[in-house]
Amino acid sequence: MAWYPLAIQTPFPGIGNYRDGPYKIIHHTTEGSSAAGAIATYKKTGSYPHFTVDQDVVYQHVDTETAVTALEHPAGTPETNRSHAIQIELVGFAGSAKSPTSLATLAALCRWLEQRHGIPAEWPNGLPKPAVHGRDPGGHNRDVEHWTTRGGHYGHSQVPHNSHWDPAYTAEEVAVVMGPASGAPADAVAAALLEGEPAALPAMAEFSGPSAAEAPATTGYVGALVAVATAEHAAYHGIAETDEPLRSRIDTYCRGIGIAPPGDVTTFPWSATFVSWCIRTAGASRSEFAFSASHAVFVKAAIANADARRGVFRARAINEYAPKVGDLIHRNRSGGAVTYAEARERSDYPSHSAIVVEIGEDRTGRYAVTIGGNESDSIRRTRVSLRADGKVAQSEANPYICVVQDLKVEAETQALVAEAARAGDTRRLDMAQIIVNYEARRDGQGRLEVYRLPPDDGGGRYEVAGINERFNKAVCDDLVALVESGRQAEAERRAVAFIAQDTDLAAEWTSNAAVEFYLRDCVFNRGTRGAAWILQRAVGVATDQSVGPETRAAVARAETEPQRLLADLRSAREAYERRRRDETSRFWKGLVNRWNKALADARRFLPEDGAARPDEVVEAAPEPRPAFEPPPEPGRMEVVAEARAFAPADAAAPAMPAPAVVIGRSDVGDALVGMHRELEAKIFARPAAAAFALDGATEPPEPHRVVVGVGIGSAHRDFESVGAAGPGAPVLNVYVTEPMGMDAAKAVLVDHLGMRSMISDRERVNVIKSGPIEAHAHTHLARPSPCGISVGHFKVSAGTQGALARGRSGARQNRLFMLSNNHVLANRNDCQAGDAILQPGPYDLAPNAANQVAVLERWVPLDYAADGVNYVDCAVAWCWPDRVREDFIYRNGADWAYFAVGSQPVESREDLVVGKSGRTTQLTSGRIIDVNASIQVNYGGGRVANFRDQITVKGNDGKTFSQPGDSGSLIWTWGQGRSPVGLLFAGGTELTFANKISHVLDALDIALFP
């Protein structure tokens, strides 16, 4: 896997392996003004790039060795997304000028990609055509031969059979993107990143993306300074000072700050000139910074600023201040040992300064990354080790002297800040009013009342609008006096103003209004330290209850997905409360109601494009449910529906009616269908009791026992199965318990199973190792019980609550059901209607009547007969509505969070990316590789069942999709809508098998809820 070391990782699913063509870089524009908006669009459309570039920040969504979906690929045309296309979305518009900062950041990314994947720095289809008066210029070169045979750079406008015209770079913009150093050797940093060898930044070679990096500012002066330094590094790093074009560039630095260029650059220490030029180019004036060819000169001026508490560049002693992005780190050079006190007076000592462009943390500790000039006679990035508190770790050789703090704010930015402050004052009062409404006791006319607190409340004797005597006595007494004198309106204004002021710290922790409101409510409800704990838990950093740089950086990253961050805050708030109380507390229901109301109100502050969408993982505020009829109290109930066998309506038709459509490459011929039927019959005909070795057996299986399933899939480039028909042609999928090649598998089919039709070399098969197929952790007790968590019949171990459903007809329309497998809810047929269903399942918590959430209502019996055929392993249990919830659970760091899944099923198809939330492996993703598998499943105790027309799923990136305990999980499309596809019921060591959801719903006569 390949991840850009300087990117912020915001992962999305890829679509698997590339298929053909050389590596190439595809340039897109987002047609929007922010990365957050672009990312929201990706989620909405299910179309993902590898990278998004926004000013000086790179977001990486998928590793570059996995294909993505940002290109069109009409049927019958050459591969696009899978043609080793690394796709980059640049924030901006095709018809407008591109941000110079973004272009410089893009250039650095492209240089890394070129070296990482061997991509030529050329445009095989020519340069992209620029816009004409902001519109599509037309006449784009979409040469197919170049696309399929030549690596390099392509605009989206140059991709065959695509209709877009982005990025529409001008020639000047292309020059920046390609960079004058595109053919230069990589510097020590790039070498370390690519080869893993120690270099100037040894730890960066191990990066897979910053784990806790402070996101560089992207607006205002700091953002401009970082962008200027980054662009200079991207263009000139690794070039010696005596070589062009850096030699001429040094003259530019000199002229830019008003000094004469050197005659002999080898004797000219140009590092201070470089820093001064960057600071001036970013927008600072001479009155703000003492531009000089000597670091000591501008540092002395910065110390004077600090002493007088004036100016926008102020020095801070090295042991007193933690550097931030945009600051300068200043140290001795050439064996010097000047102290901060001495630097206050001197301007003639050898020293060096560099610009901080990144703050981060990895397994070796915290660090800063600086960009400096005249470092090893070039422009380089250097790692500076930081202490645990973020301050610079002192060095014995050439000790550090100070950090020059960058406090500059552009005049334009100051005006915007002032305007925002005025708007923010109105907003903060609106937020405080909502909190008052949560807390206030009111009379019949809606006016504030004084609430007399119960003796054990802990807040004193009384409160008004949640402001109580114990913690805010003076304010509370004033409010009581106002209310009792009939001045309730004045009391309300006073309460609102106090709560706004009391919670203002929350506004410093986030730039998102919705998150700010939720945090304000946390601050008022649980104090500053409690709110800090909740925030840190939500963003996955250490809960030290102090919001510092690491927390703020994590919040900045999380804010790109505000809906998810809000859901995480809601979960963290519950986790905070569970440290001191649980559902047995008389306050619990009120607390849950408060958290959910605050979540719903927080979403009111989201912009329109940040509103909840079905493809975002969020916990929805509770919606009113239909009035479901509860089941009888625990104990046996009258059988409401007999268990009944099921076969789909087209069971008598050929076993594979769909593949010709599903595979979509060429028709599935009669010969292939015949081979599928023949092998299925041979697998199903084996004696059930001997179909699998007993647990613990050490003897290898007999050869013909190795084959455990059959289906129809497509030949892939990396399989031996590619024959004369080429990749994508339909072939037989053969599932085996042991690893083997195609020839060995065919030998078993021919010699041991008598499949003479497989003798020909022309007949190819996909050999897929599944392992022995057996009927398969969210394991804690939860009320209400979410989908994806441990449940089970009172006699069995544990499986998964797959989804909630309701009956389609009769009285069952008013019943809320839990969907899972027969072997989870109906104990593999050993059951009666009305049996207790427990959460968690008995394996995870000893059976107890208090754990019951439902009673068994209907199931489809499993047919273990040697000639029997099953299509589903499913059952439903009738739930108490208040004991279950329709949301799906997943682990978010150390906490639980929830998301929604759609209720409208879709047909399975090959290569569809899917997900599931299950008891054991929790939230996982995978890819469908077969939609018509026929398999034998071991249910233990000598019981083996034949299954036909099943879905096969393989985990993504070599990871396991499921394990025992995940049985019963609902499988849904990974992406927009999360539409149900199947019901997980069995698996081997590498594969998972699922019933088609349409069969399950028909068999049980149910519809998924809501």
Q: Work out the number of other CB atoms within 10 angstroms of the CB of residue 643.
A: 18
pLDDT, tens digit (0-9, with 9 covering 90-100), for 968-1002: 999 999 876 789 999 999 987 788 999 999 999 99
347 and 403, same domain (yes or no): yes
Q: Are 56 and 231 in contact (CB under 8 A)?
A: no
Q: Is the peptide bond before 167 cis (omega within 30 degrees of 0)?
A: yes
Report d(CA 734, CA 732) in Å as an integer: 6
542 and 677, same domain (yes or no): no
Residue 186 lies in a domain: no
496 and 572, same domain (yes or no): yes
Residue 3 lies in a domain: no
Q: Considering the entire predicted model, what is its pTM? A: 0.39
365 and 253, same domain (yes or no): yes
Which residue type, as a one-letter code, is found at position 877?
Answer: A
* Length, in residues, of the chain: 1010
Closest residue by Cα to residue 93 from 65, 60, 131 = 131
Q: Is the peptide bond before 840 cis (omega within 30 degrees of 0)?
A: yes
Residues sharing a CB contact under 8 Å with residue 230, sequence separation 6 or more, in sequence order:
56, 101, 104, 105, 108, 357, 371
pLDDT at residue number 11: 80
Give me the phi and psi of 45, to 5 degrees please: -95, -15
385 and 422, same domain (yes or no): no
684 and 565, same domain (yes or no): no
596 and 732, same domain (yes or no): no
- CATH number for position 587: 1.20.141.10
Instruction: Domain count for the chain, please give it.
Output: 5
Residue 195 lies in a domain: no
356 and 311, same domain (yes or no): yes
Concatenating the DSSP letter of every residue in 241-264 gives TTSTTHHHHHHHHHHHTT-PPPS-
Residues sharing a CB contact under 8 Å with residue 777, sequence separation 6 or more, in sequence order:
790, 844, 918, 919, 920, 921, 922, 965
Give me the phi and psi of 589, to 5 degrees please: -60, -40
Residue 628 lies in a domain: no
352 and 450, same domain (yes or no): no
pLDDT at residue number 147: 95
**What number of helices (H) and strands (E) belong to the chain?**
23, 36
pLDDT at residue number 665: 33
Q: What is the mean pLDDT of each run of 10 residues along the chain (1010 residues)?
A: 76 86 96 84 86 88 92 90 96 91 90 90 92 89 94 96 94 84 32 29 27 39 83 86 92 89 92 94 85 94 88 91 93 93 92 94 88 93 92 92 83 47 67 89 84 77 86 82 84 86 87 92 90 91 84 87 89 87 81 87 71 34 55 50 62 37 45 77 54 29 61 60 58 73 66 60 63 56 88 87 92 92 93 90 76 92 92 95 88 71 89 90 90 89 90 87 91 84 88 94 91
pLDDT at residue number 772: 57
Which residue type, as a one-letter code, is found at position 449?
Answer: E
Report d(CA 1000, CA 414) in Å as an integer: 62
Residue 761 lies in a domain: yes
Residue 378 lies in a domain: yes
- Distance between alpha carbon 277 and the CA centroid of its chain, in Å? 39
Concatenating the DSSP letter of every residue in 386-442 gives B-TTSSBPP-SSS-EEEEEEE----HHHHHHHHHHHHHHHHHHHHHHHHHHHHH--B
pLDDT at residue number 424: 53
Helix (H, G, I), strand (E, B) or coil at 615: coil
Residues sharing a CB contact under 8 Å with residue 122, sequence separation 6 or more, in sequence order:
152, 153
Q: Half-sphere exposure of residue 492, counting CA atoms within 13 Å on the CB side?
A: 19
Q: Which of 744, 772, 800 is the last residue of a domain?
A: 772
Report d(CA 196, CA 253) in Å as an integer: 33
Q: Which of 610, 640, 670 is the last residue of a domain?
A: 610
**51, β-bridge pairs:** 60, 88
Q: Which of 392, 409, 426 is the last residue of a domain?
A: 409
Report d(CA 89, CA 53) in Å as an integer: 6
pLDDT at residue number 350: 94
Residue 621 lies in a domain: no
756 and 882, same domain (yes or no): no
Report d(CA 422, CA 428) in Å as an integer: 10
pLDDT at residue number 796: 77
- CATH number for position 861: 2.40.10.10
- CATH number for position 122: 3.40.80.10
Q: In what order do the strands lie in the sheet with 884-892?
A: 785-787, 884-892, 895-899
Domain span at 299: 206-409
Beta-sheet pairing, 707-714 with 730-736:
antiparallel
569 and 470, same domain (yes or no): yes
pLDDT, tens digit (0-9, with 9 covering 90-100), for 801-818: 999 999 988 888 889 999
227 and 307, same domain (yes or no): yes
pLDDT at residue number 760: 53
Residue 50 lies in a domain: yes
